[in-house]
């Protein structure tokens, strides 16, 4: 290798402390962003596909009028390259071994399910299998509870209308078994082609035809555009994005992960900026010499640009090398959480933000001080020139600030978040400048203590600029980490509060008014009291201020609530998790008015006083909007778009009652007795879904922990960068002290003490700032109430002092453990 090449080689660079810091920081930044982006897209895919599996397809077309849809509709879908499938759903009595039972039949075609899996048990031994098809012709799969109800076993026959079907499996889970309130009675599943031969389904009987579609998003959208004008009022197109609960959890977790990621990138950016400035300063002699030896400034510029490019490549490659195993681990955990393997899939577009981070970090943080190297006067070889005044560094700061702002905006996507984050930092730094000054002044006055203590104080004071900036940086780090810990804790609490362990996991639907007391009594006797019972009336919103709603509300078909029957209710008091955002809740004795859910009100552009007309059966009810309220859709309790006052507009309408309650897994047998005593009440079991959501929450928490590790790593890299800035001074002082007879142990103790002091102060300041930042975040982002977090916050200054003491001991070990002679020589 030639000398010039060697001078600029990465291998040589790597021996340069500052370069190691820059590279480490770049790697951490890239790794953080890549891990988060990869994981977020994986999470998105997984959740959408598991949400898709709630439909057993990407889209469903439901016909509620008891008639199949025209054949050409399906043919058109096939022609457009979509996968299709078909289901027929109806209720009927079946006959087992001398026992009748009302069941809810789902008859499926060969293609079912297009998405998701079924779980069945093919023999009584109890081994569960996951399969991707329904029963064959002539066979029927049944809910395990039916074994007792019908006194039959596997292999027996079941009479469905005119047809005998063989019970060939127990149906444990169907992908689309969960979220719809239309489910009835215990489920049986048979083949769609057997339906006709049962003779149960006739023209006009209560039967629902459901068509399944799957394929590319664009193709599905195109097909819907074609289909939409032909849809009748009882035909409904359903997509997964209506699955509110999951997509809400997903959005939250994503912005939370990204917030954590921004912090790591911010720290890495600081490290890159500090270290590259340090590096540029150390390169001035080399540049001056190269100029003297005849290298022009263009050549020097090129030299360092090449080097920067190499750093960039190293940072990207290194970052991905770190990110991939992390991502793999998280994906593995995700699979574990979901109870099924998740396809490990690298979304290459998710890497773009990571690459962008590397490039921006290099050019906005590392490059500016290095760019100025080519201005180093050659005269420097003869006489050290006046150094940088710091005025040149101002544009660097500006560039860096803009870049940081841009990057975090890119990740968080929310301006208010970026502003509160960076605002918190600015506040922190201003505060630190002030408090740091007081600290330094105070420490000077402290007398007494051992040699080490005095030396530590002297050290703090002598490097007061470094001390101040170290306190500032570490306090900032601690603030970020503490903020994350706090927000994470409160976010989790938030989630836990929404989905406590005894969150309702069963719905009871279709309770006849005169059975309400008996049903409530039944569960009370068994120690599983019901939550609030609500009356439910099915009706459509048909007119708005006297005009047909379909004309008034443009063609925005996303207002799904208009396409189907709504569940209307009446109640006298506002449910605890609802909140009035406009108007007033019904007063005692009030009989008019209707309360509308806020999002729907927003989409329809409703205001207080607007007159809504509902069509319920053959009746029409018109009421004015008296309040608008928010609803916790993911509360797993019955929620309603429209609420009337008791004895209000819904009086005399045919109502059934609905409620939810918690039933532990080991007591599910009680459902058998319940179904026998109340055959007409539908039981909706959603415990599987709840478990899944809880697992996802846990999973996201794990991902946040992984990000925390990256943040801490970034923080330590920042510290290393700042230590670099004082390293030379410290070496000189250490050598001097030891030459004058100071013992090594004294030097070690005073250094450790000095860093512990730094850490302690940084801890106190950081924690105080974190409380402020958390308050801002909770206020702006999570809409939570503020509270102090002493338990979390108190140990942090101590831990921080400890970490920094150890860190200082480690980072300064070359200063502390080397003989004074060698030190003097090295400094020459």
Q: Footprint of another protein on this chain (CB under 8 A)?
A: 2-4, 6-7, 12, 15, 285-286, 289-299, 377-379, 381-383, 825-826
Shortest spacing between CB 311 and another protein, in angstroms: 17
- Dihedral sign, CA of 427, 430, 434, 440? positive
3-class secondary structure per residue, 175-217? CCCCCCCCCCCCEEEEEHHHHHHHCCCCCCCCEEEEEEEECCH
We find the least distance from the C-beta atom of residue 734 to another protein, in angstroms, to be 19
Contact in structure between 354 and 370 (CB atoms under 8 Å)? no
Q: Which is nearer to another protein, 49 or 282 (CB)?
A: 282
**Cβ at position 379, least distance to another protein in Å:** 5
C-beta of 392 vs 619, nearer to another protein = 392
Instruction: Report the residue number, 66 or 377, with the smaller CB distance to another protein.
Output: 377
Q: Check: CB of residue 460 under 8 Å from CB of residue 750.
A: no
Rounded to 10 degrees, the C-alpha dihedral 534/538/540/546 comes to -70
DSSP string, 673-738: HHHHH-TTSEEEE-HHHHHHHHHHHHHHHHHHHHHHHHHHHHHHHHHHHHHHHHHHHHHHHHHHHH
Pick the closer one to another protein by CB: 283 or 726. Answer: 283
* Least spacing, CB of residue 4 vs another protein, in Å: 5
Nearer residue to another protein within complex by CB, 7 or 624? 7
Q: What angle do CA 17, 18, 22 make, to 5 degrees?
A: 120
10 Å CB burial of residue 603 (0-12, 13-18, 19+) is middle
User: Nearest Cα to 146, choosing from 176, 188, 175, 106?
Assistant: 188
Residue 381 or 772: which CB sits closer to another protein? 381
Q: Least separation, in Å, of the C-beta of 281 and another protein?
A: 16
Residue 619 β-bridge partners:
616
- Beta pairing class for 547-548 and 534-544: antiparallel
Closest to another protein by CB, 282 vs 590, is 282
Nearer to another protein, 16 or 691 (CB): 16
Instruction: Kindly state the smallest distance separating residue 392's Cβ from another protein, in Å.
Output: 17
Q: What is the DSSP annotation of 113-148?
A: -SSS-EEEE-STT--EEEESS-PPTTEEEE-THHHH
- Nearer residue to another protein within complex by CB, 298 or 785: 298
171 has which bridge partners? 120
Q: Quick check: 30 and 318 in contact, CB under 8 A? A: yes
Query: What does the alpha-carbon distance between residue 530 and residue 444 come to, in Å, rounded to a whole number?
Result: 68
Q: H or E element: which one contains 805?
A: helix 795-811
Q: Closest CB to another protein among 7 and 317? A: 7
Q: Residue 102 or residue 289: which is nearer to another protein going by CB?
A: 289
Q: How far is the CB of 298 from another protein (least distance, A)?
A: 6
Q: How far is the CB of 699 from another protein (least distance, A)?
A: 48
CB 505 within 8 A of CB 663: yes
With CA atoms as reference, report the closest residue to 115 among 161, 50, 41. Answer: 50
Closest distance to another protein from the beta carbon of 397 (Å): 24
> From the CB of 810, what's the least distance to another protein, in Å?
24
By beta-carbon proximity to another protein, the closer residue of 2 and 554 is 2
Q: What is the rounded CA–CA span in Å between residue 817 and residue 306?
A: 36
Full DSSP string of 510-549: EE-GGGHHHHHHHHHHTT------EEEEEEEEEEETTEEH
- Rounded Cα distance between 759 and 535, Å, is 61
Q: How far is the CB of 375 from another protein (least distance, A)?
A: 10
Q: Are 361 and 26 in contact (CB under 8 A)?
A: yes
Q: How far is the CB of 383 from another protein (least distance, A)?
A: 6
Residue number, 70 or 299, with CB nearest to another protein: 299
On the 0-12 / 13-18 / 19+ scale of CB atoms within 10 A, 441 is exposed
Residue 19: CB minimum distance to another protein, A: 12
CA distances from 220 to 48, 76, 572, 597 (A): 15, 12, 43, 30
Count how many residues are written for the chain.
828
């Amino acid at each position: 290798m030639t000398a010039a090449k060697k001078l600029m080689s990465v291998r040589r660079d790597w021996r340069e402390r500052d370069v190691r810091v820059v590279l480490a920081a770049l790697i951490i930044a890239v790794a953080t962003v890549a891990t988060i982006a990869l994981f977020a897209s994986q999470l998105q895919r997984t959740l959408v596909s598991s949400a898709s599996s709630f439909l057993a397809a990407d889209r469903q077309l439901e016909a509620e009028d008891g008639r199949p849809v025209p054949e050409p509709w399906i043919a058109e879908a096939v022609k457009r390259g979509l996968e299709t499938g078909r289901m027929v759903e109806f209720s009927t009595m079946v006959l087992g071994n001398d026992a009748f039972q009302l069941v809810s039949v789902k008859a499926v075609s060969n293609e079912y399910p297009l998405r998701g899996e079924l779980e069945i048990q093919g023999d009584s031994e109890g081994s569960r299998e996951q399969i991707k098809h329904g029963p064959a012709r002539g066979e029927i799969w049944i809910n395990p509870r039916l074994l007792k109800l019908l006194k039959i076993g596997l292999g027996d026959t079941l009479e469905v209308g005119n047809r005998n079907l063989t019970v060939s499996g127990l149906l444990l889970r169907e992908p689309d078994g969960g979220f719809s309130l239309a489910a009835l009675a215990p489920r049986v599943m048979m083949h769609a082609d057997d339906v006709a031969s049962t003779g149960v389904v006739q023209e006009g009987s209560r039967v629902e035809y459901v068509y399944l579609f799957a394929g590319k998003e664009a193709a599905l959208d195109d097909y819907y555009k074609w289909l939409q004008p032909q849809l009748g009022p009882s035909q409904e197109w359903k997509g997964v994005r209506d699955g509110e609960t999951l997509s809400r959890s997903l959005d939250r977790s994503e912005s939370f992960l990204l917030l954590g990621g921004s912090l790591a990138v911010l720290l890495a950016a600081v490290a890159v900026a500090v270290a590259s400035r340090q590096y540029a300063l150390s390169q001035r002699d080399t540049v001056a010499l190269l100029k003297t030896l005849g290298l022009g400034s263009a050549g020097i510029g090129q030299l360092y640009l090449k080097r920067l490019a190499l750093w960039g490549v190293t940072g990207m490659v290194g970052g991905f090398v770190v990110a991939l195993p992390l991502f793999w681990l998280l994906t593995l955990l995700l699979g574990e959480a979901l109870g099924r393997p998740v396809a490990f899939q690298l979304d290459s577009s998710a890497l773009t933000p990571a690459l962008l981070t590397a490039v921006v970090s290099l050019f906005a943080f590392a490059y500016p001080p290095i760019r100025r190297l080519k201005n180093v006067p050659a005269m420097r070889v003869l006489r050290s020139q006046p150094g940088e005044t710091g005025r040149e560094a101002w544009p660097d700061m500006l560039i860096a600030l803009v870049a940081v702002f841009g990057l975090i905006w890119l990740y968080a996507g929310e301006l208010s978040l970026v502003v509160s984050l960076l605002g918190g930092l600015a506040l922190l730094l201003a505060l630190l400048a002030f408090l740091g000054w007081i600290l330094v002044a105070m420490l000077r006055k402290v007398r007494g203590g051992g040699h080490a203590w005095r030396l530590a104080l002297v050290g703090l004071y002598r490097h007061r600029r470094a001390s101040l900036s170290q306190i500032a940086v570490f306090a900032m780090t601690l603030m970020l980490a503490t903020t994350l810990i706090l927000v994470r804790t409160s976010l989790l609490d938030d989630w836990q509060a929404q989905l406590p362990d005894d969150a309702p996991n069963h719905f009871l639907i279709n309770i006849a008014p005169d059975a309400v007391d008996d049903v409530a009594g039944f569960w009370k006797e068994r120690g599983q009291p019901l939550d609030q019972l609500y009356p439910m009336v099915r009706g459509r919103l048909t007119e708005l201020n006297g005009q047909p709603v379909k004309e008034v509300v443009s063609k925005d078909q996303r207002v799904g609530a208009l396409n189907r029957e709504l569940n209307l209710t009446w109640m006298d008091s506002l449910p605890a998790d609802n909140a009035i955002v406009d108007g007033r809740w019904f007063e005692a004795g009030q009989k008019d008015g209707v309360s509308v859910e806020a999002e729907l009100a927003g989409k329809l552009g409703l205001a207080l006083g607007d007159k809504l007309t509902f069509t319920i059966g053959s009746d029409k009810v018109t009421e004015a909007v008296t309040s608008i309220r928010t609803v916790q859709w993911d509360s797993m309790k019955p929620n309603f778009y429209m609420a009337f006052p008791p004895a209000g507009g819904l009086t005399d309408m045919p109502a059934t009652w609905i409620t939810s309650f918690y039933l532990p897994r080991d007591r599910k047998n009680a459902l058998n007795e319940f179904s026998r005593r109340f055959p007409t009440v539908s039981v909706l079991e959603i415990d599987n879904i709840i478990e899944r959501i809880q697992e996802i929450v846990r999973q996201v928490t794990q991902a946040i922990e992984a990000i925390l590790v990256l943040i801490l790593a970034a923080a330590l890299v920042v510290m290393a960068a700042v230590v670099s800035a004082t390293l030379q001074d410290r070496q000189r002082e250490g050598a001097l002290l030891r030459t004058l007879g100071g013992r090594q142990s004294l030097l070690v103790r005073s250094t450790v003490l000095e860093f512990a002091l730094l850490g302690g102060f940084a801890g106190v300041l950081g924690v105080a700032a974190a409380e402020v930042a958390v308050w801002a975040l909770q206020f702006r982002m999570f809409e939570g109430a503020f509270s102090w977090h002493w338990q979390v916050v108190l140990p942090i200054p101590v831990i921080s002092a400890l970490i920094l003491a150890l860190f200082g001991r480690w980072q300064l070990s070359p200063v502390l453990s080397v003989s004074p002679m060698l030190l003097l020589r090295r400094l020459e």
